[in-house]
């Protein structure tokens, strides 16, 4: 086989694989009934813990299993947005020295925004899930998620029972 077509084919394959979407694993978590202590599992599909333009109209992206009940639903997260503008600071400094080799005087004036302290970026949102079986059972949850996709939440089912959520 000639080297030119082989090289061209390899380059084309590398280009196509670089353009392919990256597959990531689902994000696991747990849910616990705060009254009985019954524990279940939560699976967030890839991309479900990031703010998305589709909002509430997209497909289900979460599966929750508690005992024999399986809930499917959708998360919607809001981006925290930009932080408030940083306050400005003003500083003036004078200095001088003297010695056997001579003397010197210096000064400096500074004005500008103060450095921003490092902050974690938190997103808030909710999750609404339901069972496919009759009678339909529902869970509504509030979520707080960090930039790494870790978070906590609180859920309430259709009868008012509370659940704690960790992921």
pLDDT tens-digit profile of 97-152?
Answer: 777 777 777 777 777 776 666 666 899 999 999 999 999 999 999 999 998 889 99
Q: Is the pTM of this model over 0.85?
A: no
Among residues 60, 65, 74, the alpha carbon closest in space to that of 42 is found at 65
Residues 6+ apart with CB under 8 A from 77: 49, 50, 51, 52, 123, 124, 125, 143, 145
Name residue 63's beta-bridge partners.
Answer: 43, 72
Residues 115 and 99 sit within 8 Å (Cβ to Cβ): no
Integer Cα distance of 43 and 54 in angstroms = 20
Q: What pLDDT band is residue 7 in, cutting at 50, 70 and 90?
A: very low
pLDDT beyond 50 at 15:
no
Integer Cα distance of 26 and 75 in angstroms = 14
44 phi/psi in degrees, rounded to 5 = -95, 125
């Amino acid at each position: 086989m000639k080297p030119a077509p082989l090289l061209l084919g390899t380059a084309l394959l590398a280009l196509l694989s670089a353009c392919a979407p990256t597959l990531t694993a689902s994000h696991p978590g747990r849910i616990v009934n705060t009254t009985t202590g019954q524990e279940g599992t939560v699976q967030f599909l890839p991309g479900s813990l990031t703010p998305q333009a589709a909002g509430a109209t997209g497909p289900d992206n979460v599966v929750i299993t508690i005992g024999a009940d399986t809930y499917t639903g959708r998360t919607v997260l809001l981006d925290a947005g930009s932080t408030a503008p940083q306050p400005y600071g003003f500083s003036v400094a004078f200095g001088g020295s003297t010695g056997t080799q001579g003397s010197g005087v210096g000064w400096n004036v500074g004005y500008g925004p103060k450095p921003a302290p490092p902050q974690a970026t938190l997103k808030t949102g909710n999750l609404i899930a339901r069972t496919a079986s009759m009678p339909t059972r529902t869970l509504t949850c509030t979520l707080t998620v960090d930039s790494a996709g870790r978070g906590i939440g609180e859920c309430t089912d259709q009868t008012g029972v509370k659940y704690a959520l960790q992921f």
